[in-house]
Structure 1
Amino acid sequence: MDAGAHPAVAVAMTRLEGAPVLRIDAEEAYIEETPEGVWVSGWIWVEQQALASCDAMRMMKLRNAIADLPQQTRAVFLAHCVEGSAYPAIARRLSLEVAEVQRELASALLILSQALDET
Protein backbone atom coordinates (compact mmCIF):
# COMPACT_ATOMS: atom_id res chain seq x y z
CA MET A 1 0.00 0.00 0.00
CA ASP A 2 1.19 3.55 -0.78
CA ALA A 3 2.57 5.29 2.34
CA GLY A 4 0.54 8.40 1.45
CA ALA A 5 -2.71 6.50 1.05
CA HIS A 6 -5.69 7.37 3.21
CA PRO A 7 -5.87 5.21 6.38
CA ALA A 8 -9.39 4.15 5.37
CA VAL A 9 -7.85 2.17 2.50
CA ALA A 10 -5.91 0.00 4.96
CA VAL A 11 -9.04 -0.56 7.06
CA ALA A 12 -11.09 -1.45 3.97
CA MET A 13 -8.40 -3.86 2.72
CA THR A 14 -8.32 -5.57 6.13
CA ARG A 15 -12.10 -5.98 6.12
CA LEU A 16 -11.98 -7.61 2.68
CA GLU A 17 -9.14 -10.07 3.36
CA GLY A 18 -10.24 -13.49 2.24
CA ALA A 19 -13.27 -12.19 0.34
CA PRO A 20 -12.71 -13.76 -3.11
CA VAL A 21 -15.18 -11.50 -4.93
CA LEU A 22 -14.12 -8.10 -3.56
CA ARG A 23 -10.87 -6.20 -4.01
CA ILE A 24 -9.49 -2.77 -3.19
CA ASP A 25 -6.41 -1.43 -4.95
CA ALA A 26 -4.65 1.23 -2.87
CA GLU A 27 -3.20 2.94 -5.93
CA GLU A 28 -6.64 3.18 -7.58
CA ALA A 29 -8.71 3.92 -4.48
CA TYR A 30 -11.26 6.68 -4.62
CA ILE A 31 -11.88 8.21 -1.21
CA GLU A 32 -14.95 10.19 -0.20
CA GLU A 33 -15.08 11.47 3.35
CA THR A 34 -18.43 12.09 5.04
CA PRO A 35 -19.22 13.14 8.63
CA GLU A 36 -20.26 9.52 9.35
CA GLY A 37 -17.27 7.77 7.79
CA VAL A 38 -15.23 7.27 4.63
CA TRP A 39 -16.25 5.61 1.36
CA VAL A 40 -13.46 3.65 -0.30
CA SER A 41 -14.05 2.41 -3.84
CA GLY A 42 -13.43 -1.22 -4.64
CA TRP A 43 -13.81 -3.89 -7.29
CA ILE A 44 -16.43 -6.63 -7.38
CA TRP A 45 -15.77 -9.91 -9.22
CA VAL A 46 -18.39 -10.96 -11.78
CA GLU A 47 -18.11 -14.43 -13.32
CA GLN A 48 -18.32 -14.89 -17.08
CA GLN A 49 -21.22 -17.28 -16.54
CA ALA A 50 -23.23 -14.49 -14.89
CA LEU A 51 -22.53 -12.19 -17.84
CA ALA A 52 -23.56 -14.88 -20.32
CA SER A 53 -26.77 -15.44 -18.38
CA CYS A 54 -27.47 -11.70 -18.45
CA ASP A 55 -26.85 -11.56 -22.21
CA ALA A 56 -29.13 -14.55 -22.77
CA MET A 57 -31.90 -12.88 -20.77
CA ARG A 58 -31.55 -9.66 -22.78
CA MET A 59 -31.69 -11.61 -26.05
CA MET A 60 -34.83 -13.41 -24.91
CA LYS A 61 -36.41 -10.06 -23.95
CA LEU A 62 -35.44 -8.63 -27.34
CA ARG A 63 -36.87 -11.59 -29.27
CA ASN A 64 -40.13 -11.39 -27.32
CA ALA A 65 -40.35 -7.62 -27.81
CA ILE A 66 -39.77 -8.00 -31.58
CA ALA A 67 -42.48 -10.67 -31.74
CA ASP A 68 -44.87 -8.33 -29.91
CA LEU A 69 -44.35 -5.43 -32.33
CA PRO A 70 -47.30 -4.55 -34.55
CA GLN A 71 -46.99 -6.48 -37.84
CA GLN A 72 -46.01 -3.54 -40.06
CA THR A 73 -43.60 -2.13 -37.49
CA ARG A 74 -41.96 -5.56 -37.12
CA ALA A 75 -41.70 -5.96 -40.90
CA VAL A 76 -39.97 -2.57 -41.25
CA PHE A 77 -37.62 -3.29 -38.34
CA LEU A 78 -36.60 -6.72 -39.63
CA ALA A 79 -36.19 -5.48 -43.20
CA HIS A 80 -33.94 -2.62 -42.17
CA CYS A 81 -32.06 -3.93 -39.12
CA VAL A 82 -31.77 -7.63 -39.95
CA GLU A 83 -31.84 -7.75 -43.75
CA GLY A 84 -30.10 -4.38 -44.21
CA SER A 85 -32.66 -3.06 -46.70
CA ALA A 86 -32.71 0.65 -47.45
CA TYR A 87 -35.76 2.79 -46.72
CA PRO A 88 -36.86 3.14 -50.38
CA ALA A 89 -36.68 -0.64 -50.92
CA ILE A 90 -38.74 -1.28 -47.79
CA ALA A 91 -41.24 1.37 -48.85
CA ARG A 92 -41.69 -0.28 -52.26
CA ARG A 93 -41.98 -3.77 -50.77
CA LEU A 94 -44.58 -2.75 -48.17
CA SER A 95 -46.38 -0.13 -50.31
CA LEU A 96 -45.48 2.67 -47.91
CA GLU A 97 -44.02 6.15 -48.22
CA VAL A 98 -40.37 6.47 -47.15
CA ALA A 99 -41.49 8.77 -44.32
CA GLU A 100 -43.82 6.02 -43.06
CA VAL A 101 -40.93 3.55 -43.08
CA GLN A 102 -38.88 6.00 -41.03
CA ARG A 103 -41.73 6.49 -38.53
CA GLU A 104 -42.28 2.73 -38.20
CA LEU A 105 -38.57 2.15 -37.64
CA ALA A 106 -38.41 4.92 -35.04
CA SER A 107 -41.43 3.42 -33.31
CA ALA A 108 -39.86 -0.05 -33.30
CA LEU A 109 -36.59 1.24 -31.87
CA LEU A 110 -38.40 3.13 -29.12
CA ILE A 111 -40.54 0.12 -28.18
CA LEU A 112 -37.55 -2.22 -28.18
CA SER A 113 -35.34 0.09 -26.14
CA GLN A 114 -38.11 0.48 -23.56
CA ALA A 115 -38.56 -3.29 -23.40
CA LEU A 116 -34.83 -3.77 -22.78
CA ASP A 117 -34.76 -1.04 -20.15
CA GLU A 118 -37.49 -2.70 -18.07
CA THR A 119 -36.20 -4.53 -15.05
Structure 2
Amino acid sequence: MLRIDIDEAHVEETPQGVWVRGWIWVEQQALRSCDAMQEAKFRSALADLPQQSRVIYLAHCIEGLTYPAIAAKLDLDVADVQRELAAALLALSIALDET
Protein backbone atom coordinates (compact mmCIF):
# COMPACT_ATOMS: atom_id res chain seq x y z
CA MET A 1 0.00 0.00 0.00
CA LEU A 2 1.25 3.50 -0.79
CA ARG A 3 0.15 6.59 1.12
CA ILE A 4 0.98 10.20 0.27
CA ASP A 5 0.12 12.66 3.04
CA ILE A 6 -1.18 16.08 2.05
CA ASP A 7 1.65 17.81 3.94
CA GLU A 8 4.18 15.62 2.10
CA ALA A 9 2.87 16.50 -1.34
CA HIS A 10 6.15 18.21 -2.22
CA VAL A 11 7.27 17.13 -5.66
CA GLU A 12 10.51 17.59 -7.52
CA GLU A 13 10.47 17.43 -11.28
CA THR A 14 13.42 16.08 -13.22
CA PRO A 15 13.79 15.41 -16.93
CA GLN A 16 13.29 11.70 -16.19
CA GLY A 17 10.18 12.00 -14.00
CA VAL A 18 8.70 13.41 -10.81
CA TRP A 19 9.78 12.62 -7.25
CA VAL A 20 6.89 12.44 -4.77
CA ARG A 21 7.38 11.77 -1.06
CA GLY A 22 5.22 9.03 0.38
CA TRP A 23 4.90 6.10 2.75
CA ILE A 24 5.14 2.47 1.70
CA TRP A 25 3.49 -0.26 3.80
CA VAL A 26 5.69 -3.31 4.35
CA GLU A 27 4.31 -6.24 6.32
CA GLN A 28 6.34 -7.54 9.26
CA GLN A 29 6.48 -11.01 7.70
CA ALA A 30 8.20 -9.57 4.63
CA LEU A 31 10.79 -7.87 6.84
CA ARG A 32 11.45 -11.09 8.76
CA SER A 33 11.79 -12.92 5.47
CA CYS A 34 14.40 -10.38 4.29
CA ASP A 35 16.28 -10.70 7.58
CA ALA A 36 16.29 -14.49 7.26
CA MET A 37 17.55 -14.30 3.67
CA GLN A 38 20.31 -11.86 4.66
CA GLU A 39 21.33 -14.10 7.55
CA ALA A 40 21.49 -17.13 5.26
CA LYS A 41 23.57 -15.15 2.74
CA PHE A 42 25.90 -14.01 5.51
CA ARG A 43 26.37 -17.51 6.91
CA SER A 44 27.07 -18.88 3.44
CA ALA A 45 29.54 -16.08 2.64
CA LEU A 46 31.26 -16.57 5.99
CA ALA A 47 31.61 -20.30 5.32
CA ASP A 48 33.05 -19.53 1.87
CA LEU A 49 35.85 -17.36 3.26
CA PRO A 50 39.34 -18.85 3.35
CA GLN A 51 39.90 -20.38 6.80
CA GLN A 52 42.43 -17.79 7.96
CA SER A 53 40.22 -14.88 6.87
CA ARG A 54 37.23 -16.44 8.64
CA VAL A 55 39.23 -17.01 11.85
CA ILE A 56 40.50 -13.42 11.82
CA TYR A 57 37.03 -12.00 11.08
CA LEU A 58 35.46 -13.97 13.94
CA ALA A 59 38.28 -13.12 16.34
CA HIS A 60 37.96 -9.41 15.66
CA CYS A 61 34.25 -8.91 15.04
CA ILE A 62 32.77 -11.53 17.35
CA GLU A 63 35.38 -12.03 20.08
CA GLY A 64 36.45 -8.39 20.02
CA LEU A 65 40.17 -9.10 19.85
CA THR A 66 42.53 -6.36 18.72
CA TYR A 67 44.77 -6.68 15.68
CA PRO A 68 47.88 -7.20 17.84
CA ALA A 69 46.09 -9.86 19.92
CA ILE A 70 44.98 -11.73 16.80
CA ALA A 71 48.47 -11.43 15.31
CA ALA A 72 50.03 -12.89 18.46
CA LYS A 73 47.44 -15.67 18.68
CA LEU A 74 47.96 -16.71 15.03
CA ASP A 75 51.69 -15.91 14.82
CA LEU A 76 51.14 -13.30 12.09
CA ASP A 77 52.20 -9.72 11.49
CA VAL A 78 49.61 -7.07 12.38
CA ALA A 79 49.67 -5.97 8.72
CA ASP A 80 48.70 -9.51 7.67
CA VAL A 81 45.77 -9.46 10.11
CA GLN A 82 44.61 -6.11 8.73
CA ARG A 83 44.91 -7.33 5.14
CA GLU A 84 43.00 -10.57 5.85
CA LEU A 85 40.27 -8.73 7.76
CA ALA A 86 39.88 -6.20 4.94
CA ALA A 87 39.58 -9.04 2.41
CA ALA A 88 36.99 -10.80 4.59
CA LEU A 89 34.92 -7.64 5.03
CA LEU A 90 35.01 -6.96 1.30
CA ALA A 91 33.95 -10.52 0.43
CA LEU A 92 31.10 -10.43 2.96
CA SER A 93 29.95 -7.04 1.73
CA ILE A 94 29.91 -8.18 -1.89
CA ALA A 95 28.01 -11.36 -0.98
CA LEU A 96 25.38 -9.43 0.97
CA ASP A 97 24.93 -6.87 -1.81
CA GLU A 98 24.20 -9.56 -4.42
CA THR A 99 20.54 -9.99 -5.28
Following the alignment from structure 1 to structure 2, what is the Cα–Cα distance between the partners of residues 71 and 47? 38
Quote the residue 1:65 is aligned against: 45
SS in 2 for 1:46: coil
* Distance verdict in 2 for CA 1:31–1:91, change over 3 Å: same
RMSD over aligned Cα atoms = 1.9
Which deviates further from its counterpart, 21-30 or 51-60? 21-30
Following the alignment from structure 2 to structure 1, what is the Cα–Cα distance between the partners of residues 19 and 88? 42
Does 2:95 align with 1:115?
yes
Return 5+ residue gaps in structure 1 as ranges. Answer: 1-20
Quote the residue 1:99 is aligned against: 79
* Distance verdict in 2 for CA 1:83–1:41, change over 3 Å: same
Paired residue type of 1:104: E
How many aligned residue pairs are there? 98
* Equivalent residue for 2:4, pick from 21, 24, 47: 24
Identical residues among aligned pairs (%): 71
- TM-aligned CA deviation for residue 30 of structure 1: 2.4
Task: Point out the structure with max Rg over C-alpha.
Answer: 1
Following the alignment from structure 2 to structure 1, what is the Cα–Cα distance between the partners of residues 37 and 79? 33
Paired residue type of 2:72: R
* Distance verdict in 2 for CA 1:31–1:85, change over 3 Å: same
Does 2:28 align with 1:48?
yes
* Distance verdict in 2 for CA 1:82–1:33, change over 3 Å: closer
* Distance verdict in 2 for CA 1:28–1:100, change over 3 Å: same
Following the alignment from structure 2 to structure 1, what is the Cα–Cα distance between the partners of residues 72 and 64? 15
Paired residue type of 1:78: L
Give the number of the structure with larger relative contact order, counting CA–CA contacts within 8 Å between residues 6 or more apart.
Answer: 2
- TM-aligned CA deviation for residue 38 of structure 1: 6.1
- TM-aligned CA deviation for residue 33 of structure 1: 4.7
Normalization by structure 2: what TM-score? 0.88
Paired residue type of 1:28: E
